[in-house]
């Protein structure tokens, strides 16, 4: 669970960085998308990434089921939940479902029309920048994505430091540092993703 989570978080950071190229204009973003569509290494990594998502989702469902089975009808025996764990920690599975749902939406909006289309036909989207602009200039779509990114932020604020804790890097000195870095990482990634719908909503592009 922790290893798959760390792998996916590395991908998110890379993906967010590439997405920001859209702020440099149509040519820069289209060139980046063409590179992603045609690079052999990236083509190999796509099924690896999909497998990583699958393992993460299945294991999360398994752990949640086991935890609820162990508790039975009893909930956590604490009088003040905010002292025991954060809101994100108590709702990781629900947040994960929200992220997964919007991920499926994201794949249908972009990946199926870019990389998948190129893989199946040899030709991807002629103008990836245009696809993004068309989607995000519609306020409803931008709001939906902003909700998704907010859920992702909460998911990452707990998932980041929890992953390091799980692999044993959880002494009293480092756990506080991981928690701070979790908020930094989650905020940077979220802002990078948020920049795209916000950019197309504003009359500046």
pLDDT by residue, tens only, the chain of 205 residues: 667 777 888 888 988 999 999 999 999 999 998 888 888 888 888 888 888 888 888 877 877 777 777 766 554 444 444 444 678 888 888 888 888 888 888 888 888 888 888 777 877 778 999 999 999 999 999 998 999 999 999 999 988 888 877 776 666 777 888 889 999 999 999 999 999 999 998 876 6
Residue 7 near residue 54 (C-beta atoms within 8 A)? no
Residue 112 has a pLDDT of: 86
Residue 7 has a pLDDT of: 81
Q: If residue 17 lies in a helix (H) or strand (E), which one and from where to where? A: helix 2-19
Domain ranges of the chain: 2-72+88-201
pTM: 0.79
Residue 164 has a pLDDT of: 77
Q: Is 145 left (phi over 0), alpha (psi -120 to 50) or beta?
A: alpha
Measured CA to CA, the distance from residue 53 to residue 4 in angstroms comes to 7
How many of the other CB atoms lie within 10 Å of CB of 27? 10
Residue 116 has a pLDDT of: 80
SS3 119: helix
Measured CA to CA, the distance from residue 55 to residue 48 in angstroms comes to 11
Q: What is the largest CA-CA distance in the chain?
A: 59
Residue 92 has a pLDDT of: 84
């Amino acid at each position: 669970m922790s290893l798959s989570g760390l792998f996916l978080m590395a991908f998110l950071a890379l993906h967010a960085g590439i997405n920001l190229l859209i702020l440099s204009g149509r040519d820069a973003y289209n060139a980046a998308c063409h590179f992603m569509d045609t690079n052999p290494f990236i083509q190999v990594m796509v099924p690896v990434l999909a497998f990583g998502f699958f393992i993460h989702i299945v294991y999360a469902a398994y752990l949640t089921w086991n935890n609820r089975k162990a508790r039975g009808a009893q909930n956590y025996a604490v009088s003040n939940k905010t002292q025991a764990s954060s809101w994100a920690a108590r709702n990781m599975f629900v947040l994960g479902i929200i992220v997964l749902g919007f991920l499926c939406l994201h794949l249908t909006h972009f990946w199926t029309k870019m990389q998948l289309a190129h893989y199946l036909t040899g030709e991807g989207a002629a103008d990836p920048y245009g696809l993004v602009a068309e989607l995000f200039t519609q306020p409803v779509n931008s709001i939906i994505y902003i909700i998704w990114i907010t859920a992702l932020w909460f998911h990452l604020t707990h998932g980041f430091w929890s992953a390091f804790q799980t692999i044993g890097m959880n002494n009293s000195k480092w756990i506080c540092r991981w928690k701070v870095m979790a908020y930094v990482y989650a905020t940077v990634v979220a802002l990078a993703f948020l920049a795209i719908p916000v950019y197309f909503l504003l009359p500046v592009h």
